[in-house]
């Protein structure tokens, strides 16, 4: 039997809508408070109730937060998936199942420690309410697991108390369910002999929080001065707007109780982005949150933002595409469509946050970039980043002032003889703008998505159009100054490079350590923005082979890098995983070793 301490994986199979999310988060939070490296990944269906859902809790001594499918302990509560759940247990692992489920017991594996528990009889002692039984049964397995692996009673109790702090009655019934599970385990399962154990680590999570990326984004918007947020509800982005509204209603009101923000639920995503463009044109820090199908709908307006140079932010939490795709699975499939969103020659600025800290940071700076460059900024998060639980450094507000870009007010215009909306006065391809409501005869101009002269007047002239498009292209050079640079981590003598972005990053530390044990030392560059920083070219140059790792079918980041630096064609290798599950280090490692072997 497997014996492990502070380094194993718990995989829970339940039915969605059964309340298992609460039990799983109680377990994750308890492990977090014990100081352990822990992460929680929910794999849920596009459905409200009744379909299979899985939750994976990874406890990692080295604090790896990537997915690991080596399930040392599987908790099976869903009869419809019991066969695959049995198969999913690691060799010599543990299988704790609800013995009330009807299934062929011959399926149970010999190499696995099988523990059947009749929850039906246990729940009787917890509640009489039929409705509550369904929910609280999950807290019983949380109690069983807590007892077996050694989560102290006081830790889990305070977590439950905090989690349901607004409903004292709920605290009581949940604690009773947990205690029932613990009692059962104590009396029947010999917890002392259980092979998977957790031990508290003093101050292990000092200065840390456990949070999902979408909540961090919402807080970023709140601290970044977002005043206008429009949306059309879509998984997996909805919780950004919901959280923004929740916090802003508390913390973004003036002394009279009036709001310093507006949230408007639009009729569709094209309206949502059109509202953002209207607000951005007027001078507000405006954003919309969406996912793939919404992004596609926004394409025409994205071109308007680019061509008429109106600040706007789209926060795209990527899911499996194309079309409706896999609405509740993660992917990085929208990079190319974000960069080139719209017909005609466009090339948008794209920010690529990793983890909650950067969701918070970019949730603020995306407005600086959009206003400074007067253009659309697409921020690409993904479901894994946005909806799963990550340990992050505690979020700290920025002390930086907002960068509101080149805006001329009445007082600025007083000292001028003329104003050209699209004149490249500073030679950085970024023009000055005025805002509607500016009381000055020079201020007014006419914004249009049609061809226009530097003074904003309509034009179909070929040279005027060409000059405009070339200036917009030059803007990408100026853009780099405003964008976050790549994060590079080099190891001595390493000649193999890895390039990744976003949630793929979670698998990289584990990958590099593991490759190192095979004698393959690596350097790592994490891309944080497009247009690309020149340091990426240097990184490619310095390495013999560079693996571009990402979560889509066609190697979209690889494609963009190759397009930028075609002379490095033979050095760049594409590694793609795109099945909707978060990337696993061992998958990448196999791919790398295959490539290395082939060399």
Site residues for other proteins, 467-486, by CB under 8 A, read none
Query: Closest Cα to residue 447, out of 590, 281, 586, 562?
Result: 281
Query: Closest Cα to residue 25, out of 355, 387, 331?
Result: 387
Sequence-ordered alpha helix ranges (H) in 34-129: 82-87, 119-124
Token readout for 20 is 């298992």
Task: Report the residue number, 15 or 301, with the smaller CB distance to other proteins.
Answer: 301
d(CA 484, CA 398): 15
Please report, as residue ranges, which positions from 378 to 397 form the binding site for other proteins (by CB under 8 A): 394-397
Build a one-symbol-per-residue string for 142-181: x at contacts with other proteins by CB under 8 A, - elsewhere: --------------------x-------------------
What length does the chain have?
A: 599
594 interacts with other proteins by CB under 8 A: no
The separation between the first and the last C-alpha atoms of the chain, rounded to the nearest angstrom, is: 39
Task: Report the residue number, 95 or 315, with the smaller CB distance to other proteins.
Answer: 315
CB of 230 to other proteins, least distance (A): 7
CB of 224 to other proteins, least distance (A): 8
Query: Closest Cα to residue 373, out of 347, 413, 404?
Result: 404
Task: Report the residue number, 72 or 285, with the smaller CB distance to other proteins.
Answer: 285
Calculated CA dihedral for residues 66, 536, 515, 198, nearest 10 degrees: -30
Sequence-ordered alpha helix ranges (H) in 252-332: 269-282, 292-297, 299-308
Find the binder of other proteins among 4, 186, 440, 480 (CB under 8 A).
440
* Piece in contact with other proteins (CB under 8 A), picked from 73-81, 223-231, 331-339, 503-511: 223-231
Query: Closest Cα to residue 147, out of 119, 103, 177?
Result: 177
Please report, as residue ranges, which positions from 251 to 270 form the binding site for other proteins (by CB under 8 A): 251-254, 256-262, 264, 266-268, 270
Q: What is the DSSP string of 359-379?
A: HHHHHHHHHHHHHHHTSEEEE
Please report, as residue ranges, which positions from 446 to 465 form the binding site for other proteins (by CB under 8 A): 446-450, 458
Please report, as residue ranges, which positions from 280 to 309 form the binding site for other proteins (by CB under 8 A): 280-284, 286, 300-301, 304
Element (H, E) at 219: helix 213-223
314 interacts with other proteins by CB under 8 A: no
CB of 265 to other proteins, least distance (A): 9
Task: Report the residue number, 150 or 449, with the smaller CB distance to other proteins.
Answer: 449
Please report, as residue ranges, which positions from 395 to 424 form the binding site for other proteins (by CB under 8 A): 395-397, 401-402, 404
The dihedral built from the CA positions of residue 459, 462, 463 and 466, taken in this order, carries a sign that is positive
* Token pair 């062929």: residue: 104
230 interacts with other proteins by CB under 8 A: yes
241 interacts with other proteins by CB under 8 A: no
429 interacts with other proteins by CB under 8 A: no
- Binding residues for other proteins, rule CB under 8 A, total 74
Task: Report the residue number, 106 or 258, with the smaller CB distance to other proteins.
Answer: 258
Build a one-symbol-per-residue string for 12-41: x at contacts with other proteins by CB under 8 A, - elsewhere: ---------------------x--------
When computed from its CA atoms, the radius of gyration of the chain, rounded to whole angstroms, is: 26
d(CA 218, CA 240): 5
Token readout for 232 is 């059309």
* Piece in contact with other proteins (CB under 8 A), picked from 58-66, 116-124, 250-258, 567-575: 250-258
Find the binder of other proteins among 225, 451, 454, 484 (CB under 8 A).
225
Instruction: Give ∠ CA 152-153-159 in degrees, rounded to 5.
Output: 95
Task: Report the residue number, 229 or 583, with the smaller CB distance to other proteins.
Answer: 229
Give the pairing of strands 286-290 and 312-320: parallel
Task: Report the residue number, 2 or 170, with the smaller CB distance to other proteins.
Answer: 170
121 interacts with other proteins by CB under 8 A: no
Task: Report the residue number, 30 or 577, with the smaller CB distance to other proteins.
Answer: 30
593 interacts with other proteins by CB under 8 A: no
* φ, ψ dihedrals at 412, nearest 5°: -70, -35
CB of 558 to other proteins, least distance (A): 33
């Amino acid at each position: 039997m497997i014996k492990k301490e502070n380094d194993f994986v718990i995989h829970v199979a339940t039915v969605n809508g059964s309340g298992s999310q609460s039990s799983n988060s109680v377990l994750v939070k308890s492990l977090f408070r014990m100081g352990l490296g822990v992460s929680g990944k929910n794999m849920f269906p596009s459905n409200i109730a009744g379909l299979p859902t899985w939750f994976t809790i990874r406890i990692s001594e080295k604090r790896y937060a990537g997915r690991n499918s080596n399930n040392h302990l599987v908790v099976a509560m869903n009869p419809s998936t019991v066969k695959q759940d049995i198969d999913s247990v690691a060799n010599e692992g543990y299988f704790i199942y609800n013995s009330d489920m009807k299934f062929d017991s011959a399926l149970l594996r010999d190499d696995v420690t099988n523990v059947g528990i009749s929850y039906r009889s246990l729940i009787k002692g917890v509640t009489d309410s039929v409705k509550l039984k369904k929910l609280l049964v999950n807290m019983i397995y949380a109690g069983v697991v807590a007892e077996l692996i050694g989560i102290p009673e006081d830790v889990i109790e305070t977590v439950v108390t905090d989690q349901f702090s607004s409903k004292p009655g709920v605290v009581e019934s949940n604690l009773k369910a947990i205690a029932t599970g613990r009692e059962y385990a104590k009396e029947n399962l010999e917890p002392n002999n259980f092979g998977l154990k957790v031990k508290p680590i003093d101050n292990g999570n000092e200065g840390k929080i456990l949070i999902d990326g979408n909540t961090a984004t919402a807080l970023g918007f709140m601290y970044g001065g977002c005043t206008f947020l429009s949306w059309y509800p879509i998984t997996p982005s909805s919780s950004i707007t919901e959280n923004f509204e929740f916090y802003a209603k508390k913390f973004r009101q003036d002394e009279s109780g009036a709001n310093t923000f507006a949230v408007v639920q639009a009729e569709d995503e094209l309206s949502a982005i059109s509202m953002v463009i209207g607000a951005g044109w007027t001078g507000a820090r405006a954003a919309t949150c969406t996912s793939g199908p919404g992004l596609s709908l926004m394409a025409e307006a994205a071109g308007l933002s680019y061509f008429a140079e109106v600040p706007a932010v789209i926060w795209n939490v990527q899911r499996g595409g194309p079309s409706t795709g896999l609405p509740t699975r993660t992917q990085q499939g929208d990079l190319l469509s974000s960069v080139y969103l719209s017909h005609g020659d466009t090339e948008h600025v794209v920010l690529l946050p990793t983890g909650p800290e950067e969701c918070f940071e970019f949730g603020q700076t995306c407005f600086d970039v959009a206003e400074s460059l007067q253009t659309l900024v697409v921020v690409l998060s993904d479901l894994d980043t946005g909806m799963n639980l990550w340990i992050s450094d505690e979020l700290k507000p920025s002390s930086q002032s907002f960068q509101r870009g080149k805006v001329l007010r009445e007082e600025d215009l007083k000292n001028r003889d003329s104003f050209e909306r699209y004149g490249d006065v500073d030679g950085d391809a970024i023009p000055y703008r005025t805002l509607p409501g500016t009381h000055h005869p020079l201020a007014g101009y006419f914004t249009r998505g049609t061809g226009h002269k530097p003074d904003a007047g309509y034009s179909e002239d070929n040279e005027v159009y060409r000059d405009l498009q070339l200036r917009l292209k030059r803007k990408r050079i100026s853009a780099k100054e405003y964008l976050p640079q790549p994060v590079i981590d080099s190891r001595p003598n390493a000649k193999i490079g890895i390039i990744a972005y976003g949630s793929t990053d979670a698998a990289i530390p584990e990958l590099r350590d593991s490759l190192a044990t095979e004698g393959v030392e690596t350097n790592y560059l994490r891309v944080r923005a497009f247009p690309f920083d020149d340091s990426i070219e240097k990184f490619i140059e310095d390495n013999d082979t560079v693996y571009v790792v990402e979560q889509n079918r066609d190697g979209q980041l690889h494609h963009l890098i190759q397009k930028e630096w075609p002379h490095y064609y033979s050095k760049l290798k594409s590694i793609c995983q795109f099945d909707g599950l978060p990337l696993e280090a061992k998958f990448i490692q196999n791919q790398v070793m295959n490539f290395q072997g082939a060399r």
